[in-house]
A and B are shown apart, each in its own frame.
Chain A
Amino acid sequence: MTRILTVEDDERIRASVKLALEGEGWAVEESENGERAMEVFNRAPTDVVLIDIMLPGVDGFEVCRSIRKVSDVPIIMVTARDDTHDIVAGLEAGADDYLTKPFAPKELSARIRALLRRTRAAEPALSHLRFGDLEIHQDEGVVTVSGVEVHLTRTEFKLLCELANNPSRVFSREVLLERVWGYGYFGDGRLVDVHIRRLRTKVEQDPANPRHVVTVRGLGYKLQI
């Protein structure tokens, strides 16, 4: 059974979200603060984590970073402000996606479903791809740079595979949003930008002058052969 951990200090929101998610047939674990969240997370395997940024004590960014250190479980940040800074900071902390309050239960379950699909996605493509010093073993979920394995989150891995399966093809941010995050055309392009940036820090020798994941002005990104 799919287990979802929701970290939220507002009891009423927590209760209503729990009801809505349980309606989808998922098991919901709760935590009202950051400290307890790590305990609950370590106690049992979790499939998706929902973290509110504004938490008393340890904040959502910190919880996100702590979880990221030990797991690449999909994380959705929940923010009460559509403040660019908060959103980008949440994504930089390792979140895969974000939601702004007030979110509709349908939206939340759609996001969770998209993340769950991603984890199980097996590409019917070439399993082993090589681009200079970058090697991708798709079926094993392993990426090496100059023979050294680098650790990617599932979202980063999915993003890299999307680009790698059609090398030299330019992907607009909208297409990537649709393919990696399951959003339609009007999703937030910052999701793509932040993940591309994080991906570069892991697979590029010099992230400021990327040789693999390159920007195509005005159009989007592509993987250079």
Chain B
Amino acid sequence: MAGRGVTAPQQQIGLRTRVIASFVVLAAVLALVISLATYFLVQNSVVERREEVARNLAFTDARLVREQLLDVADRGAPAGRVSADVLQRSPADGVVVLRYGDIVHHTGSSFIDGSFNPQLDLPTDLTAVVADHRTGLQRVRLKGVPVLVVGIPLRIAGADAATTGLPSAGSGPTAWAEYYEVTSLADIEQSLQRLVIVLAVMGVSATVAGAFTGRWVAKRVLAPLVEVNDAVHALANLSFDTKLPATRDPDLAPLVSTFNHTVQALQERIDRDGRFASDVSHELRSPLTTLTNSIGVLQRYDQELPEPAQQAVALLGEEFERFQQLIGDLLEISRFDAGAQRLQRSPLVIGEFVRHAARLTCPDAVPVRIDADLEEAVIMADKRRLVQVLSNLAVNAQKYAGGVAEFTVRRVEGGLELAVLDRGPGVPASDRSHIFDRFARGATAGNRGNDQGTGLGLALVSEHVHLHGGSVRVEDRPDGSSGACFVVFLPANPVSIYDTEEDFEAAGIGPDQ
């Protein structure tokens, strides 16, 4: 949208951004919810299943261990040996811990390193439960490995505490052992981690897809807006053939219809203004022709008139000339307003042209300084308008600034600069921006006593130059002398008259344009 003239205030987020953001947020939230639900469902079912299996296995193993314990206990073998033997024969593949009185034995395992110490590493919550003769199950992390610990109290019925050295529960004859089976959950955790990665990737993908969908939707939704914007932009450039295509969309139809009506109304209005200017111009020209011819006849027989009548004729002549100039300028500027101005370019040899213009506009010989390579260079320009530009600048200098000091032409990037230097006091910085406004008069020009200007001269300079795609500015004289320097920049690709046909063609220069 940038470059088409639409700029949102900086604090406000654009509609397009908001639509995309909504889609992104929606996609992200949905992905997050689905991922979390999936993760916890999978985790629960897998872990629960594993717990059930582990519990069943542990119970089976525990029963076997208990029977063997009872068996050896009956035979009066020493407890330490007994428990070690029993554990050797345990079918469990995880770590098995047997606490039998003060004696603790355990088997090793591949998934926990050798420093495993059952006394310290078994979770105390669980050992407390088992010590209370209840079965317990807990998921913990042992040495960084996720494990499931199942604890089962074993009642060694009938064992004689005195002979076996087994601890008795309380003062009763019954002795207890504690059996723990530790199962690794590393594989489950790994699977779950993998699941998390998959879900994360899916979540990110969904969010990105959301962003793309949002962009597409925004584009679809904003397409009419962009079209309207383009149309309005074209309208701003006074291109009145701009029309929005008819639409059946009930939300857009009123806008399209209003826009097209506005364009049409504007066009009619501008056409009317243009016709008015042209009609006024035509209507004024006839009486002006009669007046100028009649005044011409009066002036011719001037000598035959009495003295006061001669003075009156002289005044009439002067004032009529000024009036005619004003009408001419007004008509010219009204044609700019009506957008009816067209360039009529023809090839101009720069040196020749500027020297002629200087001679035409200045009564005394004024120096003309032209870059050597531009002296015999050709550009395409509207001769009539450029003459008016130089002549209005020269007239301005003569009326308000003691005359033209120098005309210069130099090559600059992208074109050339024509400058008119005067001998006046210069233009104060505060006046420089509006000196080219219509009827703007600088401080020195405020006095109307013998002011012969129309107040439109510099405005017309600006209009003519802009029609050429150029610009005009006023600055101090570059040589440091007192006076203003009016600089006209014209975009051009000057071609030397000695260049080839191809060079001329490339620069778009030909006599019949």
Which residues of A are in contact with B by a Cβ distance under 8 Å? 10, 12-13, 15-17, 19-20, 23, 54, 80-81, 84, 100-106, 108, 172-174, 184-186, 188-190, 193, 215-221
Contact = CB atoms under 8 A, between A and B. Distances in A.
A186 B342 CA distance: 18
B504 A217 contact: yes
A186 B294 contact: no
B349 A172 contact: yes
21 contacts: A10-B286, A12-B287, A19-B293, A80-B282, A81-B278, A100-B285, A101-B288, A102-B292, A103-B289, A104-B292, A105-B293, A108-B293, A185-B356, A186-B356, A186-B360, A188-B384, A217-B347, A217-B509, A218-B378, A218-B495, A218-B504
Interface secondary structure of A, over-half rule: mixed
B469 interface: no
Interface residues of B, number: 40
Nearest to A193: B512
B383 A218 contact: no
Contacts of B344: 84, 190
A15 to B, nearest CB: 8
| A-B interface, 6 closest residue pairs, ranked by CB to CB distance from nearest | A105-B296, A102-B288, A16-B293, A101-B285, A217-B504, A102-B289
A102 B297 contact: no
Interface in B265-284: 278, 281-282
B292 A221 contact: no
A16 B290 contact: yes
Given A101-B289, A106-B296, A219-B347, 10 more contacts: A15-B290, A16-B289, A19-B297, A23-B300, A80-B282, A104-B296, A186-B384, A189-B346, A193-B512, A220-B511
B387 interface: yes
B278 A186 contact: no
Given A173-B346, A186-B356, A189-B383, A217 B292 contact: no
Contacts of A20: 293, 296-297, 300
A179 B512 CA distance: 20
A220 B511 CA distance: 6
B512 A13 contact: no
A217 B347 CA distance: 8
Given A13-B286, A13-B289, A186 B511 contact: no
B467 to A, nearest CB: 14
A3 to B, nearest CB: 19
Contact of A218 (B291, B360, B497): B497
A80 B497 contact: no
Contacts of B512: 193, 215
A219 B497 contact: yes
B14 interface: no
A10 to B, nearest CB: 5
Contacts of B286: 10, 12-13, 80, 101
Contact of A13 (B293, B300, B349): B293
Given A12-B287, A81-B281, A186-B387, A218 B509 contact: yes
B331 to A, nearest CB: 9
A103 B295 CA distance: 12
A218 to B, nearest CB: 4
A80 B285 contact: yes
B64 to A, nearest CB: 112
B251 interface: no
Contacts of A15: 290
B285 A102 contact: yes
Nearest to B324: A102
Contacts of A186: 356-357, 360, 383-384, 387
Nearest to A217: B504
Contacts of B282: 54, 80-81
Contacts of B289: 10, 13, 16-17, 101-103
A84 B342 contact: yes
B347 A16 contact: no
B501 interface: yes
Contacts of B285: 80, 100-102
A192 to B, nearest CB: 8
Contacts of A100: 285
Interface in B333-352: 342, 344, 346-347, 349, 352
A17 B161 CA distance: 152
B328 to A, nearest CB: 9
B370 to A, nearest CB: 16
A50 B294 CA distance: 18
A173 B384 CA distance: 14
B290 to A, nearest CB: 4
Contacts of B352: 172, 174, 185
Contacts of B297: 16, 19-20, 23, 105
A168 B302 CA distance: 50
A44 B62 CA distance: 146
Contacts of B497: 218-219
Contacts of A106: 296
A102 B291 contact: yes
A57 B352 CA distance: 45
Contacts of A103: 289, 292
B510 interface: yes
Nearest to A170: B497
B364 interface: no
A19 B511 contact: no
A13 B509 CA distance: 41
- The residue in B497, B509, B511, B512 that gathers the most chain A C-beta atoms within 10 A of its C-beta is B511
Contacts of A101: 285-286, 288-289
B292 A105 contact: yes
B307 interface: no
B289 to A, nearest CB: 4
Given A13-B289, A16-B290, A215 B296 contact: no
Nearest to A216: B511
Nearest to A185: B356
Contacts of A84: 342, 344
Contacts of A80: 281-282, 285-286
